[in-house]
Structure formats: structure tokens, C-alpha cells
Amino acid sequence: RLIVLEFSWSLGPVTYHVGKAFVDHAAYLHALGVAAGTNRYPGVSDDPLQAFRDLAHDIATYCSDFVTGAAVICSAAAETAAIARAARHRRDTARYVGDDAKRSEAREAFEACHYEHVIALLESVQDPSFLDPSDHSRLAIARRRAIR
């Protein structure tokens, strides 16, 4: 187990690591059932050391699962966080490679009855698994209606 603290002028992100899995402080506290606003870290203070005291309080008060327990909740939270990161990565990649723009353009082309263009756009998407059910419906309808 490892707690990683990032510091640059003040205490920044804090992550809890169990093996190769990791989760940030806020997500871990959420998984522990800590009500929002009852934790101290991150807080607001002019004293840079206060963040460390606040984190120490949170760890002592809420994180026995990680510190002395089997880290079961931390591991589960890390798995959930990994799934969320992967989904974010897929969405970001779709945007970066232009798949989002193609999907948007295909919607507009469909509304304008430009079915050949809809087919070309949706078939050129780099990650077809990112297409939602409405994209698949548009593609199926466009294939039926296209003049070939």
C-alpha cells in the first residue's frame, strides 16, 4: 500500500494505491460513505501545513480500511475509478480523433436526408463501439434509404 502526495506550493492530489490500483482521496472517501463536507481535506487555509493536518485527520478518522484493514473498500473504489478513467479516455479519444464530430455531422446529414453521407461518416468512425443506439438506428435507416 502506498499514499502518494503531490506538492507544489501546497498539498495537491492525494492518491491511495493498493498494488497497481489507485483511487483519489475524494473518490475513496465517497466509497467509504463519508458525507460530503464532513471531511477536512481539501480545505481552504493560508497555512500550507494545514492541508497536511487536514489530510492526517481524514486518514485517522475515515481510512482505517486502508491503514489497518484489508483495504477492501479502497480496492473496490480503485476498480470503480479505473472503469471511470477508461470511459473518460474513450470519450476523450473519440473527441480527439474526430469521431464525435463525425457522429454530429451524421445526425445533421440524416436530418437533411443525405443518407450516403451518413453511411460514409458512421462507417469511418475509428471506434464503432462508441456509437450509441441512435447512431446504429440512423446507420440502418440510411442503408435502407440510400440510393446505391
Tens of pLDDT along 26-63? 999 999 999 989 999 998 888 889 999 999 999 999 99
Strand (E) positions, the chain? 2-8, 10-18, 21-24
Q: How many CA atoms lie within 13 A of 108 on its CB side?
A: 6
Closest among 90, 68, 80 to 31, alpha carbons compared:
80
Calpha distance 114→95 (Å, rounded): 23
Give the model's pLDDT for residue 17: 97
- For the whole prediction, is pTM greater than 0.85? no
Give the model's pLDDT for residue 148: 61
Backbone angles phi, psi at 68, to 5 degrees: -125, -10
As a dihedral over the C-alpha atoms of residue 59, residue 76, residue 129, residue 125, rounded to 10 degrees, the angle is: 20
Does residue 25 register a pLDDT over 90?
yes
Q: Note the pLDDT tens digit of each residue in 68-120.
A: 999 999 999 999 999 999 999 988 998 999 999 999 999 999 999 999 999 99
